[in-house]
Amino acid sequence: MSLLKKVFTNGRLVVIVVAVILLVDQVIKIWVKTNMCLHESIRITSWFYINYIENMGMAFGMHLGSKVVLSVFRLVAIAVLVYYTWKQVKDHARTSYVLCLSMILGGAIGNLVDCMFYGLCFAGSSEYYTSYFVPFGTGYAPFLMGKVVDMFYFPLIETEWPDWMPIIGGNHFVFFSPVFNFADTCISVGVVLLLLFFRKEISEITFKQEAKEET
């Protein structure tokens, strides 16, 4: 009975964590998209800005081939992660491990929502006016071709390289220049926690994969 209770509790945890991440992520993105012009920046502190950009790539603005390929890759990766997370729930994995998986899953779905639906329901963003909702299907891009909204910018250190340094001397330097969103944060935190505290579970995945390849 206690095992069934754990499955129910962890399963409910996955649903709640993913739902909360999606809600927070989409509220932030929609507010930024409908209240700020593209590339507009709001200074919160000397090291924290709300800087509205859009990108066609992965987390932190990285790129991976065409937009359609990237969106399909996201769909497949999320499907695999959903299956694996549910399998861990049924196998009575540690709740903290399931929590980390849920954070990664919620973040991945959050960015996928942008790709799937933003192009269908929003007008294109511009440096001169804010975006706005349009009748579904009449937006700036077709299905799976929407752009991901990013806004968090943390230039923790901003300085100039010394002139005596070869090649980069005199160039402007910003420590931690990527612009990212709440979904990216959840993915990154989940991955870091997995690497730090769940090496046993990760090594078991590797071992099972190697055993399957040998057979």
Q: Is 150 a catalytic residue?
A: yes
* Residue 184 among the catalytic residues: yes
**8 A C-beta contact, residue 85 and residue 14:** yes
Are 90 and 4 contacting, i.e. CB atoms less than 8 angstroms apart? no
The CA distance from 215 to 209, in Å, is: 10
* Structure token digits, residue 53: 């950009």
First vs last C-alpha separation in the chain: 36
Joined tokens for residue 30:
């929609």
Q: How far is CA 9 from the centre of its chain?
A: 25
Q: What are phi and psi of 79, to 5 degrees?
A: -60, -45
Catalytic residue among 25, 91, 114, 150: 150
Q: Which of 91, 114, 163, 184 is catalytic?
A: 184
- The residues carrying an active-site annotation are 150, 184
